[in-house]
Structure 1
């Protein structure tokens, strides 16, 4: 469909709570395709719908490690296990990174792009990305939960 401009920090849309997706229709499928197109045009591992100006509860994560990308609608993290601290960045806040404590593992449920209820258990970077993208759907940015945020040299 289209590569969209990524919404940057300072735009109010990033602070708003996204709406649930109630049906898989053409609008939903177009939004999912735009998420894919926009993510793959850049170098991030995840992208949430609000980051392309769509206030719907959807995200895509692709660790770009040969595994299948995760497309999840209406995600809900139902269990968080352990903690670890690591560096995070965000396509909506280029040139910056932060130190964030996230769960080591998560169990998340939601809907796939075919409308089926799915559940995943993830750990490490995938668990971190699920938490980061789910936060976006609630208007929370990583710098809100970071221990420290700093500018990186390009």
Structure 2
């Protein structure tokens, strides 16, 4: 089932999410709905707060980004093959490498893209959809997508990483999004 995406301005996007247990109600259905919603919205990641759930769950498919890079771009990320993965109860262990800029966008903040600096590498501890524990290190674009989605479960947004002046210049667009004055190809949920 395709779920509505929570729009900028909704308080859940600023809530720190809670860990869940394997008996979370209809978890496998929720995960399937998140994948379907993400692909329908042309996203590469989706976090539970973006579908109005305050739980530490996000899905990432960076493999589709890597697959669409040209040869030169792929050479920039030689150790990044991309992943399609479910992250539950994720907690960052370490951040390594130089911060680098990449133009990010967000399904909850449509039609706004900005360069965001993030570290090259993240080591993260989580459980998968079967609640099998994992600790993995990701780099390149995959690390960036994971860090973007991880921000969501920490109540942060990509615009929090841009300079205050730039954010001030975006205020009118952000206000329009929070008021529902935006058209997108997917269903959105606005705060009342």
TM more than 0.5: yes
CA contact (8 A) 2:83 2:142 kept: no
SS at match of 2:12: helix
- Is this contact kept in 2: 1:24–1:114, CA < 8 A? no
Match of 1:118 among 134, 148, 152: 134
Residue 144 (structure 1) aligns with: 160
Cα pair 1:18 1:57 within 8 Å, conserved: yes
Per-residue deviation, 1:13:
1.1
Deviation digits for residues 48-76 of structure 1 (CA, Å, limit 9, x no counterpart): 01101111100001121465411110111
2:24, 2:39 → 1: CA distance?
Answer: 23
Number of aligned residues: 151
CA RMSD of aligned residues (A): 1.8
Q: Helix, strand or coil: the match of 1:87?
A: strand
1:101 and 2:100 aligned: no
Deviation (angstroms), 1:25: 4.5
Alignment correspondent of 2:149: 133
TM-score by length of 1: 0.90
- Secondary structure of 1:143's aligned partner: helix
Residue 27 of structure 1: CA displacement?
2.1
Corresponding residue for residue 75 of structure 1: 90
Q: Which runs of 5+ in 1 are unaligned?
A: none
Q: Normalising by structure 2, what TM-score?
A: 0.73
SS in 1 for 2:147: helix
Higher helix share: 2
CA contact (8 A) 1:24 1:113 kept: no
- Give how far 1:26 is off: 4.5
The equivalent position to 1:89 in structure 2, one of 80, 84, 105, is 105
User: SS of the counterpart of 2:110?
Assistant: coil
**1:18 positional shift:** 1.1
